[in-house]
Amino acid sequence: MAKGDKINFSTPSGFPEFLPSEKRLELYLLDIIRRVFESYGFTPIETPAVERLEVLQAKGNQGDNIIYGIDPILPPNRQAERDKSGETGSEARALKFDQTVPLAAYIARHLNELTFPFARYQMDVVFRGERAKDGRFRQFRQCDIDVVARRELSLLYDAQMPAIITEIFEAINIGDFLIRINNRKVLTGFFKSVGITEDKIKSCISIVDNLEKIGESKVKQELEKEGVSGEQTQKIIDFIKIDGSVDEVLDKLKYLAQNLSETEQLNLGITELQTVIAGVRNLGVAENRFCIDLSIARGLDYYTGTVYETTLLGHEALGSICSGGRYEELVGVFLGEKMPGVGISIGLTRLISRLLKAGILNTLAATPAQVMVVNMQEDLMPTYLKVSQHLRQAGINVLTNFDKRPLGKQFQLADKQGIQFCVIIGSEEAAAQKSSLKDLKTGEQVEVLLVNLAEEVKRRLG
Site for its own copies in 333-352 (CB under 8 A): 333-336
**Residue 194 or 457 with smaller CB distance to its own copies:** 457
Query: 124 labelled as ligand-binding?
Result: no
Write each residue from 271 to 310 as x if it is in contact with its own copies (CB under 8 A), else as -, in one continuous string: -------xx--xxx--------------------------
Compute the C-alpha angle 185/187/193, nearest 5°: 95
Q: Which of residues 377-406 bind its own copies (CB under 8 A)?
A: 381-382, 385-386, 388-389, 392, 395-400, 402-403
Quick check: 367 and 417 in contact, CB under 8 A? yes
* Range in contact with its own copies (rule: CB under 8 A) among 93-101, 239-247, 354-362, 423-431: 93-101
Long-range pairs of 275-279 with CB within 8 A, sequence gap ≥ 24: 275/155, 275/156, 275/159, 276/155, 276/158, 276/159, 276/181, 276/183, 276/306, 277/159, 277/181, 277/246, 277/250, 278/159, 279/155, 279/156, 279/158, 279/159, 279/160
Nearer to its own copies, 149 or 196 (CB): 149
The answer on whether 99 is annotated among ligand-binding residues is yes
- Binding part of the chain for its own copies, among 122-130, 239-247, 266-274, 439-447 by CB under 8 A, reads 122-130
If one asks whether residue 87 binds its own copies (CB under 8 A), the answer comes out as yes
Q: Is 427 among the residues that bind its own copies (CB under 8 A)?
A: no
Asked if 206 is part of the footprint of its own copies (rule: CB under 8 A), the reply reads: no
70 binds its own copies (CB under 8 A): yes
Residues paired with 398 in a beta bridge: 371
Using the rule CB under 8 A, is 430 a contact of its own copies? no
36 to each of 121, 212, 397, how far by Cα in Å?
11, 30, 25
CB 324 within 8 A of CB 308: yes
Q: Per CB under 8 A, does 54 bind its own copies?
A: yes
Q: Shortest approach of its own copies to residue 233 CB, angstroms?
A: 29
Please choose, out of 41-49, 178-186, 242-250, 263-271, the segment that lies near its own copies by the rule CB under 8 A.
41-49
Instruction: Report whether 389 belongs to an annotated binding site.
Output: no
Considering the complex, what minimum distance in angstroms separates the CB of residue 174 from its own copies? 21
Q: In this structure, are residues 293 and 162 in contact, taking their beta carbons and an 8 Å threshold?
A: no
Q: CA 234 to CA 215: how far, in whole Å?
A: 14
Stretch that binds its own copies, among 68-76, 201-209, 232-240, 250-258 (CB under 8 A): 68-76
Q: Report, in Å, the least distance between residue 173 CB and its own copies.
A: 17
341-362 burial string, b = 16+ CB within 10 Å, else e? bbbbbbbbbbbbbbbeeeebbe
The least distance separating its own copies from the CB of residue 189, rounded to whole angstroms, comes to 24
Is 302 annotated in a binding site? The answer is yes
Cα distances from 152 to residues 272, 274, 294, 342, 424, in angstroms, run: 14, 18, 25, 12, 64
Candidate ranges 113-121, 189-197, 215-223, 260-268; the one touching its own copies (CB under 8 A): 113-121
User: Smallest gap, in angstroms, from Cβ of residue 191 to its own copies?
Assistant: 26
Phi, psi torsion values for 421, nearest 5 degrees:
-120, 140
Residues in the interface with its own copies (CB under 8 A) total 120
Find the farthest-apart pair of alpha carbons in the chain and give their distance in angstroms, rounded: 92
- Binding to its own copies, residues 150-189 (CB under 8 A): 152, 154, 156-157, 159-160, 163
DSSP string of 385-431?
A: HHHHHHHHHTT--EEE--S---HHHHHHHHHHTT--EEEE--HHHHH
Binding residues for L-histidine: 98-100, 128, 142, 146, 298, 302-303
